[in-house]
Chain A
Amino acid sequence: MTSLSTHRKLLVHDLGRRPYAEVLELQRNLCRARVERRLDDDILLLVEHDPVYTLGRGTRDSSLPVAPELLRKRGAEVFEIERGGDVTFHGPGQLVGYPIIDLAQQRQDLHWYLRELEGALIDALEVLDIAADRNPGKTGVWTGGRKIASIGVHVKQWVTLHGFALNVTTDLAWFDWIVPCGIADVQMTSVGRELDTTGNSLKDIDLRAREAVVEALGRRFGRSPDSAALPTL
């Protein structure tokens, strides 16, 4: 849309499986560095977390019917964080992405940003043969009335942090302990559940999902994705 963004890079860092706290600190640092212009490029962190429930700023009491101690007992961590939205879960088999993008150089419109994130995930799912859609009024990505990806962002002086979580082969039972995104009766789903996975190894699906998401995000934001080492701050 904006011509000046067409040749900008999106540095993609695939962190593999990492605990939540470590990556939270990393993205906060990267965001700060971007705000202070110590970083010139926008960044996309990709990560798979150990089981964790995160509570956004919009979390209602009713969204967490189970005491946090009980969730911890089940082997998940619990964090209260600065992103928008209600409670959600991250864990193995889920592709989590944290774009650190300076919207001041792109378009200062958070609704536009949310819709573009959704659009990129919908594009990526199409590549995987899953017809996904937006659900007006309910940020996230849906397929057949089931929620396949969650979105929650935070903006610090127009630089984004937090982002999206796409269920690829996630064990959806983890969502049973919460009211995901505060939407009662929401049914969660995953790429693996929507696709006929016979003949494809889960590893393959995971890889294809990763590639599709990176490419779709690059296209949506007019960037050329580029994998590079993490910048030293």
Chain B
Amino acid sequence: MATKIVMEALSPTMEEGRLVEWKKNEGDAVAVGDVIAEVETDKAVMELVARVAGTLIKQEVEAGATVPVSDVVGWIGEAGEKTGGKTEKVEEVERVERVEEGKKEEKAGTGEKPEKAEKKPAEEKAEEQPAETKAEKAEQEAPAERPASAAGERVKASPLARRIATERGVDLSGITGSGPAGRIVQRDVEAAKAGPRAEPATAPAAASGPTGRTITFSGEPFRDEPLSQIRKTIAKRLVQSIGPIPTFYLTTVVDMERATEAREALNALGEGKVSFNDIIMKATALALVQHPACNAWWQDDHIRYWNEVHLAMAVALDEGLITPVIRHADQKSLREIAAEAKDLAGRARERKLKPEEYTGGTFSVSNLGMLDIDEFTAVINPPEAGIIAIGRISENVVPASEGLEVRKQMKLTMSCDHRVIDGATGAVFLRTLKRMLENPLAMVY
């Protein structure tokens, strides 16, 4: 009776493997322990080894083919014997594999039960059982935002695809599977979840105000997002056009009357001076919480969206400049920021900063107002995606409800890495920042 040779799982999460090379030709004699073929996943190659002796009567797939785990790749039997074909079942088939000594041991981390290792390949249905259990378990641990597929309706999906879908709140019922028999596999879920990301860029109306996504304090410091096709294309085209960091600039005029009053009131308390720069940094950090799309790093093949705000501030030195970082700036009070900024700037000028104090920023602020600069464009500090340039506060005549009046105004210019931040994305962030500064109470709201 012919014995199946199947694609083996090189790890519990593997869905498919590439048969890189046949080590035996059809018609070759095979002894127990002989290497029949080599399978590759990622950067690891494993040998498929014969557990029965006989003749390799059929190679079902060609070298180089990608085959789902547990699918038949070939048959061992007596020369001239008929095989069951790729899909047809053969009674009492034996899986060609090395006896798994470690299979009694529960696989750490995956929560999989040892039965998985013992399952018979003929019982293909059995494979879906652990998948469901796993998905359900994951749902219990982290309630999905959206309900899973309609009750009772079975969606064919691989275990990995289910897990990713649950993790990311993707509804499997809306996805067309590209795997065998329409099964939803990892790449389908990955492709599906790329959709919602593009929303803020294509629909600026939806991004009006801080109602959209805000930073969620999940305990993870950041979230890596693979590049969608549109982000890849934007990145490639813009780099060709303008240089390694395709920067664009947004400028807004901020009315600083109320911020000035607030600052004077705070300083009148006599508990340490608060500078305009401190107020702007505090507001920037809070605005970033509302617009995490601007609190990100360009990482060449993905974008790292930070769930923490670490604000870097440019400090001029006698020779050059340095950007000390106020960590978790969004969670610090104005007074804490003022004290920390003063301390960091002081030690920066004395060259006493430790490397961890001037690296790891998620966004930067640069201020040349004290040097009477009205407005300027700052250079992005990679891998950060944005920097705010602060000009001086000047008194300008502006139209008022009745006639004209003189008001304190300041210009903010944001430099954006267009690979990460689109025009509308940067604009809504800057608008939030402007509103906060014009109404400092918004910062405590």
Chain A residues at the B interface, C-beta cutoff of 8 Å: 1-2, 56-58, 82-85, 104-114, 135-140, 145, 151-158
Contact = CB atoms under 8 A, between A and B. Distances in A.
Interface stretch (B174-182, B297-305, B436-444): B297-305
A109 B101 CA distance: 13
Given A111-B13, A114-B43, A154-B46, A57 B20 contact: yes
14 contacts: A56-B45, A57-B20, A58-B40, A84-B40, A104-B98, A107-B102, A107-B107, A109-B10, A110-B10, A110-B41, A114-B44, A135-B301, A152-B43, A157-B47
B199 interface: no
Contacts of B47: 154-157
A110 B44 CA distance: 7
B46, B299, B301, B302 pick with most chain A CB within 10 angstroms:
B46
Contacts of B109: 1, 112
B14 interface: yes
Contacts of B14: 110-111
B98 A157 contact: yes
B45 A109 contact: no
A58 B43 contact: yes
Contacts of A136: 224, 226, 302
Interface in B282-312: 299-302
A82 B300 contact: no
Given A2-B108, A105-B102, A107-B102, A112 B43 contact: no
Contacts of A106: 102
Contacts of A109: 10-12, 107
Nearest to A145: B300
Contacts of B44: 84, 110-111, 113-114, 152-155
B100 A108 contact: yes
Interface residues of B, number: 33
A121 to B, nearest CB: 13
A139 B42 contact: yes
Contacts of A2: 105, 108
A58 B429 CA distance: 45
A124 B38 CA distance: 32
B31 to A, nearest CB: 14
A52 B183 CA distance: 44
A140 B301 CA distance: 15
Nearest to B105: A2
Contacts of B224: 136
Given A135-B301, A145-B300, A157-B47, A107 B42 contact: no
Nearest to A152: B43
B382 to A, nearest CB: 10
Interface in B408-445: none
Contacts of B11: 108-112
A57 B21 contact: yes
Which of B13, B20, B42, B302 has most A Cβ within 10 Å? B42
A82 B102 CA distance: 25
A158 B44 CA distance: 11
Name which of B11, B12, B98, B300 has the most chain A CB atoms within 10 A of its CB.
Answer: B11
A57 B38 contact: yes
B98 A158 contact: yes
B131 interface: no
A153 B11 CA distance: 14
Contacts of B12: 109
B96 to A, nearest CB: 13
A173 to B, nearest CB: 22
A63 to B, nearest CB: 13
A155 B107 contact: no
A219 B305 CA distance: 31
A96 B420 CA distance: 37
Contacts of B42: 84, 110-111, 114, 139
A163 to B, nearest CB: 11
Nearest to A144: B383
B43 A153 contact: yes
Interface string B1-42: 000000000111110000011000000000000010010111
A104 to B, nearest CB: 5
Given A57-B21, A140-B43, 10 more contacts: A56-B43, A57-B45, A84-B45, A107-B108, A109-B10, A110-B44, A137-B301, A139-B43, A152-B44, A158-B98
Contacts of B101: 104-105
Contacts of A155: 10, 44-47
A107 B108 CA distance: 8
Nearest to A156: B47
Task: Give 7 nearest A-B pairs by CB, closest first.
Answer: A111-B11, A139-B43, A85-B43, A84-B45, A110-B10, A109-B11, A110-B44
B49 interface: yes
A189 to B, nearest CB: 14
A155 B43 CA distance: 11
Interface string B208-230: 00000000000000001010000
Nearest to A1: B108
A58 B40 CA distance: 8
Contacts of A145: 299-300
A65 B40 CA distance: 23
A153 B42 CA distance: 10
A207 B109 CA distance: 35
B45 A154 contact: yes
Contact of B49 (A111, A139, A157): A157
Contact of A153 (B45, B300, B301): B45
